[in-house]
Amino acid sequence: MRIILAKDYEDMSQKAANLIAAQISLKPNSVLGLATGSSPIGAYQNLIESYKKGQISFAQTVSINLDEYVGLAQNSPQSYRFFMDENLFNHVDIDKNRSFVPNGLAADAKEECARYEGIIKQFGGVDLQLLGLGNNGHIGFNEPAQNFEKETHKVALTESTIKANRRFFAKEEDVPRFAYTMGIGSIIKARHIVLIASGVGKAQVLKDAFLGPVTPQLPASILQFHPNVCLVADETAMSLLI
């Protein structure tokens, strides 16, 4: 694993954006695995700025997002599709027909998971997967469990995740209880993984993920087995590791 130590959130965002920009520059038709949440917003802002300066183009890029809430329409402000449009896609030249997020309103969950897994395969897998880290060690919405789920699946969100995501909704009852997520197998097949973490709230889980045992009880710990992980974390997130 490569560790890039950042000073703070802004620095982490810039460094993560640099890695993504380098990926697109070297391979314009890269398949990017993208994440939502607070962690990547700054990186997306930096990418938008680079695009506006003419330094990068997403015109040939494919994007495949990690996850989506079950039950939310694409145009719902809390949906991850809406988040991606607002925070990245609407501001760059990406072809939205080639930017994928699971369909939260799919009639048949099994079919939707198979369709999504098919998209990942159709484009030859993910070149660079951007990941945030959940407080309970989840990546995507792979929550602590008895087994590592391999492929895209429907998952029941844990109380801890519902509480963490409550900030995006008017009230806790509005937070969806289920989500679609790429599986651990789908995630670790990515050729290059960039995990970003900022803030003291991530310090303990980051330490447990990389210095503790590899266990489905802490899904991010599987990253210890991946040959090409780059951790970009700021000093507070890294405070228990260095």
Nearer to ligand F6R, 26 or 170 (CB): 170
* Min dist. Cβ of residue 62 to ligand F6R (A): 17
Residue closest to ligand F6R when measured from CB atoms: 132
Nearer to ligand F6R, 60 or 78 (CB): 78
* Min dist. Cβ of residue 80 to ligand F6R (A): 6
55 three-class SS: coil
DSSP state string for 165-218? HGGGSSSGGGS-SEEEE--HHHHHTSSEEEEEE-SGGGHHHHHHHHHS--BTTB
Taking contact as CB under 6 A, which single stretch among the options 10-18, 20-28, 130-138, 151-159 is the one that binds ligand F6R? 130-138
Torsion over CA: 223, 226, 232, 235 (sign): positive
* Min dist. Cβ of residue 132 to ligand F6R (A): 2
Alpha helix ranges (H) inside 27-181: 41-52, 80-87, 109-122, 159-165
63 three-class SS: strand
Taking contact as CB under 6 A, which single stretch among the options 4-12, 29-37, 209-217, 231-239 is the one that binds ligand F6R? 29-37
DSSP state string for 3-53? EEEESSHHHHHHHHHHHHHHHHHH-TT-EEEE--SSTTHHHHHHHHHHHHT
- Segment 144 to 203, residues that bind ligand F6R, using CB under 6 A: none
- Angle between helix 9-26 and helix 41-52 axes, rounded to 10 deg: 50
Nearer to ligand F6R, 60 or 144 (CB): 144
Number of residues that bind ligand F6R (CB under 6 A): 14
Nearer to ligand F6R, 13 or 30 (CB): 13
- d(C-alpha 118, C-alpha 123), whole Å: 9
- Segment 50 to 109, residues that bind ligand F6R, using CB under 6 A: 66-67
Q: Catalytic residue numbers? A: 67, 136, 138, 143
* Min dist. Cβ of residue 131 to ligand F6R (A): 6
Site residues (CB under 6 A) for ligand F6R?
35-39, 66-67, 132-134, 138-141
